[in-house]
Chain A
């Protein structure tokens, strides 16, 4: 399926079908069906997702992969087999081998012949030493009593054997997001991992793709200022990249959204701490030399990426149990709503002061997102009080919601719509590990596609 452009230079087209664990399902199917892609990347691991997955694995050894994996695969497997698309994803989360087995189960039910590769080796929990430094706090690993997970960010090199195996679906745990997209390109175009210019180019491509709809108008639309056509049917992006590392971003025809200089500029800088040094396991990329140009409607050409050699260490994301968060909400509307909500907040602060050192009180509709209102606005017609606090024990965290709910009969007049929540909180911090200590491994699982007798 490789197209040939100009003097026999192959172009590889790779799509991005998910930008986070909970992303929409349909756009990936559209990409596979009529995006003319060879690879479909699905990036589904945020900072703490893998720690939460590890908690599920501790309860059930067959668990610990992405909760939406099977729903996505039910929809995608028939399509990717028909279109010859290969899937690369970190949906293996804390248990890539179990994820591979589960995907085979879907394939058997559909009578689809399928080869699945699981990439492991990112789990470095047993390697951590108490004296290892925590990057964010200046403290040590030993400061955290209840570690849940520790996963090194693997690079494109770790995925290459899986891609070379010919597997239809490649499932990893923690892999740097852009590496999911860079690896297939390295494989197809035969790039040298030491070629920093090409690694930087492929990393820029991966970075622009990794959040899927965020480069086609998602997390962007602002009516009258940044309008996005047919927003409800937002299409997800693909990139078509050539041997020299230049690429074009696009999206399937007859999908909503837009790809232009505005969306690409926003996404290129998204979550970037230093535009001159975007560090991945593959390269240290410089985004300040990147050139972008509108090549056609909804087509943006990207070139000029540069970089320096990859770091000697890999970043490790450490998940630790951080107790429980209790939350409660209740709403007030009509005359003096704001004052009644404030009275409710102050009252709760007094009632809960003995139990919670830190209590967060927000007035939704006034100050909950920015901490204050930047412009004087008329008093809101309705306002919602939100209270949150942290506790070591679940039972104590529940007190917050209980006190909020009790405002029904013990609070200001007209409080309604009380809700209460408690969630387990997993915190994430980082350390570094020497690259040589991390050993990626590959497991292959296959089915010939006989229908299972159920």
Chain B
């Protein structure tokens, strides 16, 4: 069965220069393992391919039941010089939550 991440996690987007930081946090602590297995850096890079031009690095933060995705080249050249409407990429958290993963 497929589930949207929106049903399993909450997310906040932050920015540093041209890098978007996406914090994916399990809504229920017991789902952290599921997220860790299913939401890989490669899958996030593919899901956000039309936004993220560079690499995606994932940090595991088990004490917060969270995964931190560092998405390089995601902000149209950088917050301060981007032509994008959402130059900070503040809305990208909800783009990540659109991802679907397979659950038992």
Contact = CB atoms under 8 A, between A and B. Distances in A.
Contact of B17 (A136, A287, A292, A389): A136
Contacts of A427: 78, 80-81
A382 to B, nearest CB: 16
Contact of B84 (A48, A322, A360): A360
Nearest to B64: A265
Contacts of A325: 83
Interface in B56-104: 59, 61-66, 68, 70, 76, 78-81, 83-86, 90-92, 94-95, 98
Given A322-B80, A374-B95, A269 B51 contact: no
B3 interface: no
Nearest to B94: A370
B50 interface: yes
A276 B59 contact: yes
A431 to B, nearest CB: 12
Contact of A273 (B12, B16, B61, B85): B16
Contact of B95 (A266, A362, A370): A370
B51 A370 contact: yes
A272 B66 CA distance: 12
Interface size grouping (class) on chain A: 35 or more
A222 B17 CA distance: 27
Contacts of B14: 269-272
Contact of B83 (A276, A358, A429): A358
Interface residues of B, number: 38
B41 interface: no
Given A272-B21, A371-B50, A371-B51, A425 B80 contact: yes
A137 to B, nearest CB: 9
A381 interface: no
Contact of A269 (B62, B66, B98): B66
B61 A287 contact: yes
A290 B17 CA distance: 26
B15 A271 contact: yes
Interface string A285-323: 001111110000000000010000000000000000010
Interface string A31-47: 00000000000000001
B25 interface: yes
Contacts of B64: 265, 268-269, 287, 290, 292
B61 A275 contact: yes
Interface string B1-31: 0000010001010111111010101000000
B83 A266 contact: no
A12 to B, nearest CB: 25
Interface of B: 6, 10, 12, 14-19, 21, 23, 25, 50-51, 59, 61-66, 68, 70, 76, 78-81, 83-86, 90-92, 94-95, 98
Given A272-B23, A274-B59, A325-B83, 7 more contacts: A219-B90, A220-B12, A270-B23, A272-B14, A364-B85, A369-B91, A370-B95
Ranked nearest first, the 7 interchain pairs of A and B with the lowest CB-CB distance are A271-B14, A269-B23, A374-B98, A360-B83, A266-B12, A369-B91, A388-B83
